[in-house]
Amino acid sequence: MVELQPIHEVPESFIKRWIFSGDHKVIAKQFLWAGLLFLAFGGTLAMMIRWQWAYPGEKVPVLGDLFLSAQGGVVTPSTYATLFTTHGLIMVFWAITPLLIGAFGNLVIPLMIGARDMAFPWLNMASFWVFFLSQLMVIASFLVELGGAAAGWTTYPPLSTNVGTPGYGQSIMVAALFVTGIATIMGALNYITTIIRFRAPGMTYMRMPLTIWAMFLTSILNALFVPVLGSAGLLLLFDRTFGTSFFIAGAAGVQGQGDPIVFQHLFWIFGHPEVYILILPAWGIVGDLVSFFTRKPHYWYKGSVFAMIAVTVVSAVVYGHHMYVTGMNPLLSHTFMLLTLIISIPAEVLFLNWLHTMWKGSMQLTTPMLFALGTIFVFGLGGLTGIVLGTISTDIYLHDTMWVVGHFHFTMASASFLAIFAGTYFWFPKMYGRMMDEKLGRLHFAFSLIFITLLFGGQLAAGYGGHQRRLFDPYQYTFLEHLLPLNRAVSHAAFALAFGQIFFVINFFKSLVSGKEAGDNPWNVGTLEWTISSPPPMHNFDVIPTVRRGPHEFANPDVKEALGRDFLYQDEEMPENVEEPQGALAQLA
Amino acid sequence: MSLAADIGPMGKVIKYAPNERRDWNAFLGMVIFLGSWIMLFGGIFLTYGALRARAEIWPPLDMPPLPLDFPAMNTLVIVLSSASLQIGLNGVKAGKTHLLQWGLPVTTVLGTLFIVLQSVVWFDLWQEGLQFTSGPYASVFYAITTFHAAHVLIGLGALLWLSIQSWRGMYTPARYLSIRLWAMYWHFVGIIWGFIFLTVYVL
């Protein structure tokens, strides 16, 4: 076989090796750090929102003196609007996206498919630095005249036009969205090309780990739908800076009317695929981890793959369920309802496959596995609460309440959040060559799962009680006064959740410096990234491996007898006297 | 560091991937990029369609109608420019490098002519009172045409650079990847212009 992938010399200068590097593993770490920083940033903003709901109008402890000293440490209405807007945007675009897609995508795609690097290393580097630029723009948006972005994460006009948010902060934020979108598209086309063109010999599509499938499908969605947000953002920027009137209507619209609803269409054409963009990588990681840590082949691997493909396709045609209350034609809204409820079928297939994989497996409750189980749990809760939102008759009552907030925080926030940590604990050894501490990890998991459930469960309850989202001081309304004790308790759950993250921070830095040496394969897993040293050399594979089987080859008794271990590497030759079984099910027999 | 020492007896290590393979990768990347960009323009056209569908009269009575003559000429210009670029590309493929060396500058000139004619259209309409702030009709017209023109300008920058490179003899029948990719981009921008001409000017 002809070697098709080059081995580049390791650059000697520090800057070329570690800062402006084309090495996918370095870029993954850059995304990891940048994403974790902004995760903490977005979390801090959330704490201030929760404080306002628990103790409206009182001085915010610690954070108030740090960030709000000019206004006496109190959250004012305009600050509050900026808080919930930027919290949402930062978490979606500058925390979850870079972590799940930027960090893990970059790290695992070449390693798991047996490639030496991404298809376009230079583009990969540019993707990170464009993303970094957009992060700087986000920070800048807080510092300009007339305050930061304040139109909600959905950036709906007319709030997001100059009428609703006259400050430069909103314009900079919309521009930052456009810029980070470009970074995402660069990444997506790199991922797609890499997965199509750089799979090692024998790595057929149906032998790819589920994580890779998920990254592949996510990238396709990214490449197709992030540009739609780009178009919406661009036209909104034209409205804000050049005085055009795409989305300006009513008294503010001179010489004819624009249409704010068009923005909602564009936003959700992007926005609904976006929630699957955020959850697909989490599903992929969970799908692999449940198999790895129950020491069983993934149940009905092909079913999981086709379920993810089905979700990807259907996710493009359900966006209207975000807009039931915009006066949509009932025929249209019923179509969207049907499609929305249909999407729960492939999601169920995935869910049952995970449960079936775990069924009667020898479960190893390591930290990554715990986080994967947590992901399954919160995603289940989120999925169930979504059914009533997909149904028109119930959605009309629950629309714009905290129920919606609780629902999407369970699905795309909590599930992605826990999957991010599952991935971090799992691949940290491969990234840095050291294990993370299990005890601290479990403590982190316990805090995370318990309080995340209480936090967003409490939001569901408040929403069911009629608490609209984005209220500055809900208790101004007599019918919501009785929710103060609930919200206060939920806020304390949020503070406990934030406190629990300290264990992760300690663990992360402690393990970086003095973690146990990981060795090549600390988890006894057979995918390609564990066949090489941790951390891998810059060219990953000395010899491009030849793949012989799928990613979840566990529990073959003949292999156990021949090799003394319960798994096979994907590129390993079958030991003598062991027959290659036909398909994963045959191994279970 | 010396690679051979670290990697051992492989004998197959290469410093660069074969050209053919790299060309294929780049081609695929470009296809995905253009797919993305179709969605970007698609979003803008969708907005145009939605605004126009809800307008009672289009164009509004107090607004100057869009001209047809210059845009029609521009359509011809952009078709010719795409043709000249394709002739150049086919030329370099067949080893007739002089076709490329003339095709690229001709395309650049035609592209520049496109921008000039488009500027005349903008200038006239602006004088007649069609400005950014004149409502959705003007918004659609200016947003779509300027955003498209920005893509033409980027293409022109690239074409200028490619022209210089071609006269330096950088492109051979074996190595002309950037010509191929920029030709794809240029054709794409031309097709988008076709849509603009049809939907914004003619209809």
Average pLDDT of chain A? 92
Residues of A in contact with B36 (CB under 8 A): 185, 188-189, 223-224, 226-227
**For the residues B60-81, what does the mean pLDDT come to?**
92
Question: Which residues in chain B (124-143) have CB-CB distances under 8 A to chain A?
Answer: 132-140, 142-143
Distance of CA A312 to the CA centre of its chain: 15
Residues in chain B closer than 8 A to A327 (CB atoms): none
In this complex, do B28 and A196 lie within 8 Å of one another by their Cβ atoms? Answer: yes
> What are the chain B neighbours of A231 within 8 Å (beta carbons)?
39-44, 46-47
Q: Are A238 and B35 a contacting pair at CB < 8 A?
A: no
Provide mean pLDDT across the span A332-358: 95
Size of interface A-B (CB pairs under 8 A): 154
Residue A581 pLDDT > 70:
no
d(CA B124, CA B144): 17
pLDDT at A562: 87
Across the range A74-91, mean pLDDT stands at: 94
What is the secondary structure of A183-217 as a DSSP string? HHHHHHHHHHHHHHH-PPTT--GGGS-HHHHHHHH
A126 vs B contacts (CB less than 8 Å): none
Strand partners, B172: B175
- B177 vs B26: CA distance, rounded Å: 8
Of A161-170, A218-227, A493-502, B116-125, minimum mean pLDDT range = A161-170
- Mean pLDDT throughout A488-509? 97
The CA distance from B166 to the nearest CA of chain A, in Å, is 24
Does A407 score more than 70 pLDDT?
A: yes
Whether residue B41 lies within 8 A of chain A, CB to CB, comes out as yes
Q: Which residues of B touch A254 (CB under 8 A)?
A: 133, 135
What's the pTM?
0.94
ipTM over 0.85: yes
The DSSP line for A322-383 is G-GGGT--HHHHHHHHHHHHHTHHHHHHHHHHHHHHHTT------HHHHHHHHHHHHHHHHH
- The pLDDT value given to residue A256: 65
- Percent of the residues in chain A that have a pLDDT greater than 90, as a whole number: 82
**Of A80-84, A175-179, A241-245, B151-155, where does mean pLDDT reach its minimum?**
A241-245
pLDDT at position B10 is: 43
Would residue A73 be called left, alpha or beta, if left means φ above 0 and alpha means ψ between -120 and 50 degrees? Answer: left
Q: Do B133 and A5 touch (CB under 8 A)?
A: no
**A58 touches B at CB < 8 Å:** no
The pLDDT tens digits of the residues spanning A293-336 come to 999 999 999 999 999 999 999 999 999 999 999 988 999 999 99
What 3-state class would DSSP assign to A262?
helix
Q: Is the pLDDT of residue B162 over 90?
A: yes
**DSSP string covering A98-165:** IIIIIIIIHHHHHHHHT-SS-S-HHHHHHHHHHHHHHHHHHHHHHHSTT-S--STTTT-TTTTSTTT-
Among A residues 164-193, those touching chain B with beta carbons less than 8 Å apart:
185, 188-190, 192-193
